[in-house]
Amino acid sequence: MNINLVVVGKLKEKYFKAGIAEYSKRLSRFCKFRIIEVPDEKAPESLSQAQMDEVMDKEGTRILNKISDKEYVYALAILGKERSSEEFAKELDKLTTYGHSDITFVIGGSLGLAPKVLKRADTQISFGRFTLPHQLMRLVLTEQIYRAFMINEGSPYHK
Structural domains in the chain?
2-44+55-153 (3.40.1280.10)
Cβ within 8 Å of residue 127, ≥6 positions away: 76, 82, 137, 140, 141, 144
| pLDDT tens for each residue of 81-135 | 999 999 999 999 999 999 999 999 999 998 999 999 999 999 999 999 888 888 9
- Contact present, 5 and 16 (Cβ < 8 Å): no
- Give bridge partners of residue 35 from the DSSP assignment: 5
Torsion of CA 4, 61, 50, 44, to 10 degrees: 70
**Cα distance between residue 63 and residue 51, in whole Å:** 18
* Residue 76 annotated in ligand binding: yes
Please work out, in degrees rounded to the nearest 5, the angle formed at the alpha carbon of residue 93 by the alpha carbons of 21 and 136: 30
Provide the 8-state DSSP code for 44. -
Contact (Cβ atoms closer than 8 angstroms) between residue 63 and residue 6? yes
Residue 11 annotated in ligand binding: no
In angstroms, rounded to a whole number, what is the distance separating the alpha carbons of residues 17 and 11? 7
Average confidence (pLDDT) over 127-154: 94
What's this model's pTM, rounded to 2 decimal places? 0.95
pLDDT bin (cut points 50, 70, 90) of residue 46 is: confident
| C-beta of residue 146 within 8 angstroms of C-beta of residue 28 | no
